[in-house]
């Protein structure tokens, strides 16, 4: 059931960061081959004008595995991948390079106009699609909110409800009836419901026993998929022509984005009204959108862009991390056993059947297993 060959848009955005985690030798615990041992046969050849088009085309359905192989084979854990028509992508799993790019010389490594134009339709001027002062401003307001106790409490309540009212009953029923579940799909629904409630205060109720379709969630998914195709395109002028002519996947993109944005605009309108009518709502009941509005960021376009970026940030990351976690558990029954023991020990003294967020914080082994699977 796992679509391991595809990787979501967010993975493309954070690929350098993920790769350092995947490949740094300090964490990998086995000796890295010396330059002489590294096999250059894994490195794609590049030709004038077309670059590494043939290799890119051949590996298009398993890019992540292919890129991982390239980085393993490169003596510097860094490689310049030549796309057709002179476009280049720098891949790195070298911790020193990642530190240089993301920390020491961060202002020199902007996302750039090309990247921003590609994602603008969906992300607008949200945090994942802006540079410089615009990025800094959004980063500051996001950091401030995420450090408040009240937002943590709000998130805890949302996740708790989604777990006990939806995820656990569906899993229990399935276990009772020995039914087969597509866990990747279930976890995507789980993550989407959670992040929409946290970001907008809107419940798509995508994780319901009948596993229904939901217009907002499905349109968001489609828009993300098409952005991902755009980023991977070997000849970006093709999608730009399609966009101009409003045909093919670009036509679908336009429709999907208009559903997402229309829904977002309606929600912003409702929220503004709700806040005006109830100015004294306690902080711990407020989603991110309400917090931004209450802090005086009332421009509709601005708050919509911020919140759409948050949905992207929290949806695929969480569901993919959990999917990999359970897949790895299924391959490592000893770890599964230890986690179950820790949960049972923890729950012995607890009144509730499920662990609370506070109790989960003390489960060192489970925490380490989650970190390990993300690594």
- Asked if residue 152 binds ligand HEM (CB under 6 A), the reply is no
Show Cβ contacts of residue 367 under 8 Å, excluding neighbours closer than 6 positions: 361
Contact 281, 150 (CB under 8 A): no
The only residue of 314, 366, 369, 373 in contact with ligand HEM, by rule CB under 6 A = 314
Judged by CB, which is closer to ligand HEM: 50, or 321? 321
Contact 319, 184 (CB under 8 A): yes
Alpha carbons 122 and 103: distance in angstroms, whole number: 27
The only residue of 43, 310, 323, 355 in contact with ligand HEM, by rule CB under 6 A = 310
Contact 257, 122 (CB under 8 A): yes
Number of residues that bind ligand HEM (CB under 6 A): 15
- Asked if residue 318 binds ligand HEM (CB under 6 A), the reply is yes
Scanning 51-59, 217-225, 275-283, 306-314 for contacts with ligand HEM by CB under 6 A, the matching segment is 306-314
- Asked if residue 142 binds ligand HEM (CB under 6 A), the reply is yes
- Asked if residue 317 binds ligand HEM (CB under 6 A), the reply is yes
Give residues 85-104 in contact with ligand HEM (rule: CB under 6 A). Answer: 102
Number of other residues whose CB lies within 10 A of the CB of residue 342: 18
Least distance in angstroms from the C-beta of 77 to ligand HEM: 18
The DSSP secondary-structure symbol of 40 reads G
- Asked if residue 325 binds ligand HEM (CB under 6 A), the reply is no
Alpha carbons 89 and 97: distance in angstroms, whole number: 14
- Asked if residue 321 binds ligand HEM (CB under 6 A), the reply is yes
Contact 89, 78 (CB under 8 A): no
Judged by CB, which is closer to ligand HEM: 161, or 374? 374
**Length of the chain in residues, anyone?**
375
- Asked if residue 375 binds ligand HEM (CB under 6 A), the reply is no
Contact 52, 80 (CB under 8 A): no
Judged by CB, which is closer to ligand HEM: 97, or 252? 97
- Asked if residue 259 binds ligand HEM (CB under 6 A), the reply is no
Alpha carbons 2 and 323: distance in angstroms, whole number: 8
- Asked if residue 290 binds ligand HEM (CB under 6 A), the reply is no
Scanning 26-34, 182-190, 251-259, 308-316 for contacts with ligand HEM by CB under 6 A, the matching segment is 308-316
Q: Distance from CA of residue 168 to its chain's centroid?
A: 23
Give phi and psi for 92, each to the nearest 5: -145, 140
Least distance in angstroms from the C-beta of 323 to ligand HEM: 11
| Contact residues: ligand HEM, CB under 6 A | 14, 17, 102, 127-128, 139, 142, 195, 310, 313-314, 317-318, 321, 374
């Amino acid at each position: 059931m796992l679509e391991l060959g595809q990787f979501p848009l967010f993975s493309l955005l954070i690929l350098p960061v993920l790769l350092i985690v995947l490949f740094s030798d300090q964490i990998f615990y086995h000796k890295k081959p010396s330059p002489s041992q590294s096999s250059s046969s894994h490195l794609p050849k590049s030709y004038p004008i077309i670059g590494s088009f043939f290799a890119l085309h051949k590996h298009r359905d398993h890019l992540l595995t292919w890129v991982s192989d390239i980085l393993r084979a490169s003596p510097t854990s860094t490689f310049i991948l030549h796309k057709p028509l002179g476009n280049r992508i720098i891949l790195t799993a070298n911790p020193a390079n990642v530190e240089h790019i993301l920390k020491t010389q961060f202002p020199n490594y902007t996302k750039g106009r090309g990247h921003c134009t590609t994602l603008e339709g969906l992300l607008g001027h949200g945090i994942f699609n802006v540079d410089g002062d615009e990025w800094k401003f959004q980063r500051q307001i996001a950091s401030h909110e995420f450090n408040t106790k009240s937002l943590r409490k709000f998130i805890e309540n949302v996740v708790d409800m989604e777990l006990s009212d939806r995820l656990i009953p569906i899993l229990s029923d399935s276990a009772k009836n020995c039914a087969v579940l597509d866990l990747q799909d279930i976890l995507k629904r789980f993550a989407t419901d959670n992040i929409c409630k946290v970001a907008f205060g809107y419940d798509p109720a995508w994780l319901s026993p009948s596993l229904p379709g939901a217009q907002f969630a499905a349109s968001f998914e489609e828009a993300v998929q098409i952005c991902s195709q755009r980023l991977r395109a070997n000849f970006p002028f093709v999608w730009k022509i399609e966009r101009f002519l409003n045909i093919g996947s670009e036509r679908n993109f336009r429709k999907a984005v208009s559903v997402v944005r229309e829904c977002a605009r309606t929600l912003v309108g409702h929220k503004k009204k709700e806040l005006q009518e109830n100015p004294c709502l306690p902080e711990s009941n407020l989603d991110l959108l309400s917090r931004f509005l209450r802090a005086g960021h009332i421009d509709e376009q601005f708050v919509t862009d911020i919140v759409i970026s948050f949905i992207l940030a929290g949806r695929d990351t969480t569901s993919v991390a959990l999917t990999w976690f359970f897949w790895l558990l299924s391959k490592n029954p000893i770890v599964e056993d230890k986690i179950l023991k820790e949960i049972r020990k923890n729950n012995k003294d607890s009144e509730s059947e499920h662990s609370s967020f506070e109790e989960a914080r003390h489960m060192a082994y489970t925490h380490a297993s989650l970190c390990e699977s993300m690594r």
